Chain A
Amino acid sequence: KNEVEQSPQNLTAQEGEFITINCSYSVGISALHWLQQHPGGGIVSLFMLSSGKKKHGRLIATINIQEKHSSLHITASHPRDSAVYICAVPPQGGSEKLVFGKGTKLTVNP
């Protein structure tokens, strides 16, 4: 079974700071998901990536398949970025159900 570890568990930043959230997993995978969950519960899919780097606005996700590690970066952070960021991977390399990390709670203060 794939084990997913995220760090840090909680992160507080000042508006404008560069944010990095890390995710490590134990079993080789076909793709990794980064998700965002705001208070109130709804989950939004930010990225699905299988290699290299993807960018969407101020969000950048990178993955190193050999090291089984991915990072989510937020540039010029803003209070509206405050949310829980969750990393998720398939359990054993396949890509049906996902195994989720516990999430990183990000708070960006003005």
Chain B
Amino acid sequence: DTGVSQDPRHKITKRGQNVTFRCDPISEHNRLYWYRQTLGQGPEFLTYFQNEAQLEKSRLLSDRFSAERPKGSFSTLEIQRTEQGDSAMYLCASSLASGQGFSYGYTFGSGTRLTVV
């Protein structure tokens, strides 16, 4: 296993266009997280999945954002009608949740840097 993979690494798009990012987690991990990081700030939580169920969404995730994890493996994050304020690094992470709910092996991907022009 090569860790958490994100694609693409960089994306430049025009305002108003839709973009979709993909995250492939570590194969045995059942939890997958999306975070967003703007310049000079620490990452902020967007949403997370346990298997295919989306268990929590942040207020940051406006109705232009949608995330899916259809088969409990890879996940996609789509942003519709992009705005300049969406420019950020989008980070994916995965972990293995124990029966008690604790997460092990928290691993981050390299991120997708989105620039909206």
Chain A residue contacts of B103, Cβ below 8 A: 95-96
Q: B106 contacts A102, CB within 8 Å?
A: no
Max chain B CB contacts within 10 Å: which of A30, A33, A41, A103? A41
Q: B48 contacts A97, CB within 8 Å?
A: yes
Q: B111 contacts A100, CB within 8 Å?
A: no
Q: How far is the CA of A92 from the CA of B26 in the complex (A)?
A: 26
Chain B interface residue number, banded: 20 to 34
Q: Can you name 16 A-B pairs with beta carbons within 8 Å?
A: A35-B108, A41-B89, A43-B43, A43-B108, A43-B109, A44-B108, A96-B33, A96-B55, A96-B101, A98-B43, A98-B45, A99-B45, A100-B43, A100-B44, A101-B42, A103-B42
Residues of B40-79 contacting chain A, CB below 8 A? 40-45, 48, 55-56
Q: Does A45 make an interface contact (CB < 8 A)? A: yes
**A35-B108, A41-B110 known; A102 and B33 CB under 8 Å?**
no
**A86-B42, A102-B41 known; A41 and B111 CB under 8 Å?**
yes
Max chain B CB contacts within 10 Å: which of A30, A96, A99? A96
Chain A interface residue count, CB cutoff 8 Å, equals: 23
Q: A45 contacts B101, CB within 8 Å?
A: no
Q: How far is the CA of A43 from the CA of B107 in the complex (A)?
A: 9
